[in-house]
Amino acid sequence: MRVERVRYFLAAIETGSLRAAAARCEVSQPTVGQQIALLEEELDVVLLTRSRHGVRPTAAGQALLDPLRRLVTAEEELRESAMAAGGAYHGKVRIGAISVTAETIVAPVVGRLRKRHPGLRFTVREGGSADVEGAVLDGELDFAVVTVPMSPAAAGLHRVPLVSAPMGVYARNDHPLAGREHVHWRDLGTWPIVTMRAGTVLWELLHRHVTGPDIVVEAMSARTLKVMVAEGAGLGILAKIETSADIPDLVWIPLRDTRPVQICLTHRQNTQPSRAAHIVRQLMRARADELTAASGT
Per-residue pLDDT of 50-74, as tens digits, reads 988 889 999 999 999 999 999 988 8
pLDDT in tens, 129-154: 888 999 999 999 999 999 888 788 88
- For residue 246, pLDDT over 80 is answered with no
Q: What is the CATH number of domain 89-164+260-297?
A: 3.40.190.10
- CA 189 to each of CA 182, 208, 255, 259: distance values in angstroms, whole numbers, following the listed order: 15, 12, 13, 19
Contact present, 224 and 207 (Cβ < 8 Å): no
Say which residue, 218 or 291, is predicted with more confidence: 218
Contact present, 172 and 247 (Cβ < 8 Å): no
- For residue 183, pLDDT over 60 is answered with yes
Instruction: Write down the mean pLDDT value for the chain.
Output: 87
Could you tell me how many residues make up the chain? 297
If you average pLDDT over residues 107-127, what whole number do you get?
82
DSSP state of 105: I
Amino acid in the structure at residue 252: W
From-to residues of CATH 1.10.10.10 in the chain: 3-86
* % of the chain with per-residue pLDDT over 90: 46
User: What is the pLDDT confidence band of residue 195, given thresholds at 50, 70 and 90?
Assistant: very high
Question: CA–CA separation, 118 vs 113, rounded Å?
Answer: 7
- When the candidates are 3.40.50.1860, 1.10.10.10, 3.40.50.300, 1.10.3720.10, the CATH number that belongs to 3-86 is 1.10.10.10
Tell the burial category of 279 from Cβ atoms under 10 Å away from its Cβ (0-12, 13-18, 19+).
buried
User: What is the pLDDT confidence band of residue 245, given thresholds at 50, 70 and 90?
Assistant: low
pLDDT in tens, 6-58: 999 999 998 899 988 888 887 888 889 999 999 999 999 999 999 888 899 99
Tell the burial category of 119 from Cβ atoms under 10 Å away from its Cβ (0-12, 13-18, 19+).
exposed
Q: What is the model's pLDDT at position 135?
A: 94
Instruction: Kindly give the interhelix angle for 3-15 and 59-85, rounded to the nearest 10 degrees.
Output: 120
If you average pLDDT over residues 266-293, what whole number do you get?
83
| Main-chain dihedrals φ then ψ at residue 183, nearest 5 degrees | -135, 170
Contact present, 178 and 236 (Cβ < 8 Å): no
- For residue 1, pLDDT over 80 is answered with no
User: What is the pLDDT confidence band of residue 295, given thresholds at 50, 70 and 90?
Assistant: low
Q: In what order do the strands lie in the sheet with 192-196?
A: 214-219, 192-196, 235-239, 167-172, 250-254
Q: What is the model's pLDDT at position 181?
A: 94
Q: What is the model's pLDDT at position 244?
A: 52
Q: What is the model's pLDDT at position 271?
A: 79
Q: What is the model's pLDDT at position 227?
A: 93
Regarding the domain with residue range 167-258, which homologous superfamily does it belong to in the CATH classification?
A: Periplasmic binding protein-like II (3.40.190.10)
User: What is the pLDDT confidence band of residue 88, given thresholds at 50, 70 and 90?
Assistant: low
pTM as predicted: 0.69
User: What is the pLDDT confidence band of residue 84, given thresholds at 50, 70 and 90?
Assistant: low
Between 4-8, 99-103, 110-114, 239-243, the lowest mean confidence (pLDDT) is in: 239-243
From-to residues of CATH 3.40.190.10 in the chain: 89-164+260-297, 167-258
Contact present, 263 and 101 (Cβ < 8 Å): yes
Question: CA–CA separation, 297 vs 293, rounded Å?
Answer: 7
